[in-house]
Amino acid sequence: MKFCTSFLIIGFSSAVYSSDQSWKDDDGLEVTIIKKIDDSECDIKSAGGDVVEQYYKLSDEKGEEIGSNFGKKPYTFTLGKNQVIPGMDRAMRGMCIGEIRKVVIPPKLGFAKDSTGQSLYYTVQLVNLFRANPGERWVTEEGIQIEQTHKIEPEKCKKAEQGDKIYQQYVLRLEDNTLVDSSYSRNAPFVFRLRNREVIDGMDIAMDGMCEGERRRVVIPSEYGYGAQGSPPEIPGGARLFFEIVLEKLVKRDEL
């Protein structure tokens, strides 16, 4: 009854039947654990707000494979952010890393808006997950707004300084939420030397003192971005820049 209880606590539908290995909710979502991770080896279980990496296989009712990413790059999404169909969001909660589940998602929790259509038959594995450890917010003397969406504790911090080689993942949007660019779309981090005039001044300032593994949300005024001229056609003149950045890897200058 352990899994059923956890689902009820976070407000999901009550179960029609349940056990430690399988359950069916009253709205038709069915979950069966086919590879269970022992509690002694499960340090963390997935929950709303976690960024999860997932392997999946979609099959038809007869078990014939329709599509799969097993053995390829995992699919990454955030639980509770409407980034996947409702049935998948629910089915991936409470999982340990390495756990595999078979999931039957009824039409109304899949791509259909009502009970018409076909159920979806998935096999899913939680490959990895990331849970944020929020930190502080501040504004620099230049007016750059910085929020630590995931902080690294001081005793574990490898800190970025002038001349270090930075491997950065980023998403850039404008104030109206228009997506301008993202390193994730290229499947590779953006690499540069810190405070070596290789990026806009605001980014050098925003990443100075950042820890390897840290994540920040940054707002850069136009005078420390692309200025009055902008960077047409994507970035208009005078635009503030809204970044989400990750210091994925750091090579100290004396290691280069």
Q: Which CATH number fits domain 22-130: 3.40.140.80, 2.40.50.100, 2.40.100.10, 3.10.50.40?
A: 3.10.50.40
Domains of the chain, residue spans: 22-130, 136-251
Reduced to 3 states (helix: H, G, I; strand: E, B; else coil), residue 95 is coil
Look at residue 173 in the predicted model and tell me its pLDDT.
96
Alpha-helical segments (H) within 17-164: 86-91
Helices (H) and strands (E) in the chain, counts: 3, 15
Termini Cα distance of the chain: 54
Per-residue pLDDT of the chain (256 residues; tens, 9 = 90+): 333 333 333 334 555 656 679 999 999 999 999 999 999 999 999 999 999 999 999 999 999 999 999 999 999 999 999 999 999 999 999 999 999 999 999 999 998 766 668 899 999 999 999 999 999 999 999 999 999 999 999 999 999 999 999 999 999 999 999 999 999 889 899 999 999 999 999 999 999 999 999 999 999 999 999 999 999 999 999 999 999 999 999 999 999 8
Please say whether the beta carbons of 167 and 191 come within 8 A. Answer: yes
What is d(CA 49, CA 237) in angstroms, rounded to the nearest whole number?
35
CATH topology (fold) of 136-251: Chitinase A; domain 3 (3.10.50)
Please tell me the predicted confidence (pLDDT) of residue 1: 30
pLDDT the model gives residue 42: 96
Helix (H, G, I), strand (E, B) or coil at 98: coil
Q: Report the pLDDT value the prediction gives residue 53, as an integer from 0 to 100.
A: 96
- Give the Cα separation of 21 and 190 in Å (integer): 43
pLDDT at res. 2:
33
Same fold, 22-130 and 136-251: yes
pTM of the model: 0.73
Could you tell me which residues come within 8 angstroms of residue 129 by beta carbon, excluding any fewer than 6 positions away? 44, 46, 50, 51, 52, 53, 97
